[in-house]
Amino acid sequence: MTCGVHELRSATASDCAAIVACVRAAYGKYVPLMDREPAPMLADYAELISRGVVHVLHERPTGELRGLIVLWPTDGAMCVDNVAVDPRYQGRGIGRRLITFAEEQARAAGLPELRLYTNEVMTENLAFYARLGFEEIGRRVDDGYKRIFLRKLVPRR
């Protein structure tokens, strides 16, 4: 799928190093606030890519990775496991485009909502998701992280 000068596609094994670099750049600023690496920094991206659940947004024609999303259907919703945008390109609508893609995938799968979580220290993420129409549905410690769980009903087309 193309959008202007960006291409959004399923990740391949050749994207793995760029994905890991993007995730580390996007989440690295939270390590001092959490005293540990955020969960997305610990994920096995080679395994996630092999499952077909990672999608990357590249700049055309350079092929430079700008952002990524990890998502899969679960329990009657589309689970958005990770949205990461290279910090050099944040504020340019890439995160919004990735969430729109998640909505499209949910709609295509007949799923009525998106679900995701973020860490409580990631306040700018909470503000971003609120602007996109997500609502908080819970807070709890999960896998040792203080997480805030959110959902968004997927608009019908």
* CATH number of residue 97's parent domain: 3.40.630.30
pLDDT in tens, 56-79: 999 877 788 999 999 999 999 999
The predicted pLDDT at position 77 comes to 97
In b/e form, how buried is each residue of 16-43, taking b as 16+ CB within 10 angstroms?
Answer: bebbeebbeebbeebeeebeeebbbbeb
The predicted pLDDT at position 59 comes to 85
Residue 27 CA to residue 37 CA, distance in Å, equals 8
Give residue 83's domain range.
2-153
Specify the number of domains making up the chain: 1
Does 1 score more than 70 pLDDT?
Answer: no
Reduced to 3 states (helix: H, G, I; strand: E, B; else coil), residue 84 is: strand
What single letter denotes the amino acid at residue 116? Answer: L
The predicted pLDDT at position 4 comes to 53
Residue 19 CA to residue 55 CA, distance in Å, equals 10
Does 152 score more than 80 pLDDT?
Answer: yes
pTM: 0.93
